[in-house]
Chains A and B, each alone.
Chain A
């Protein structure tokens, strides 16, 4: 839920690096965190593990550019998971809709409600991360702050859509 990270100190001291100098991110740290979770730990606490490691181990990882790059790589990882989870839920929910229709049920469409939810989530994600960018004014932290926000919200929605209850 916490979309805001503190990186003002790092923003000020970062050095510029080009895209070629940055290694691409491995999601291993995030996946390891998720795999090693204890029962009463929330999986959302694992979000950002890989991006953090990327910033720590990449030369220039704490520059504005480096942070944005690392965060965006993990955002992409979660976005792929989100898309896969969404498709999975959609398939299951549409199958239920078909079954219900065959039974002559007038139950509201789960597939339609799912699509509405995801559209509303996209608008919420964008508006929330626009707001977080506004916290930084024209400052250079606005870039990484926005990407960080997108990464957190995307990950949370991916974890939500991966919940067993939505496909059972």
Chain B
């Protein structure tokens, strides 16, 4: 059973040099070079959080995490857009070829909405586990960071399915 995501190039990386939040920035190049250096079977998640750690050597950790979250949020939006384009293309092909309609675009939007709710509820749960119970705690930020990056990888992969 081959896993699809690793076959794919990382085409969306270029042209986004820095992600900024609260006056600090994380290096998109650092994330990009980590991902492009990965072997196919390797888990892309090991490249998540590196940029924030690097940024935290000179900046405040919380702001650095926010900056990396902003990077993944932007990339998630692009990934969703690409996946939606693909889905809409397949849906209109089905119409013009008089194939059974699949409503991939509707299914994708529903899936993405449900993912948003899942991320919100998961990170809210994790937040209750920490003493401060604040959304700005590194743990709650980490939850947001990892889940957003994972969904980004997923959408970037499905966007490239033939």
Contact = CB atoms under 8 A, between A and B. Distances in A.
A5 B118 contact: no
A127 B121 contact: no
B150 interface: yes
A5 B43 contact: no
Q: Is the interface of A mostly helix, strand, loop or mixed?
A: helix
A2 B157 contact: yes
A29 interface: no
Contact of A5 (B2, B107, B133): B2
- From A7, A123, A127, A130, name the one whose CB has the most chain B CB atoms within 10 angstroms: A127
Interface in A2-54: 2-7, 40, 42, 44-45, 48, 51-52
Interface residues of B, number: 41
Nearest to A113: B125
B129 A124 contact: no
B5 A2 contact: yes
Given A134-B102, A137-B99, A138-B100, A123 B154 contact: no
Interface residues of A, number: 41
26 contacts: A1-B150, A1-B154, A2-B3, A6-B4, A7-B1, A42-B43, A44-B43, A48-B1, A52-B1, A110-B128, A110-B129, A113-B124, A116-B124, A116-B125, A120-B120, A121-B122, A123-B117, A123-B118, A126-B114, A128-B115, A131-B107, A131-B111, A135-B90, A135-B161, A138-B102, A166-B129
Interface of A: 1-7, 40, 42, 44-45, 48, 51-52, 55, 107-110, 113-114, 116-117, 119-121, 123-124, 126-128, 130-131, 133-135, 137-138, 148, 165-166
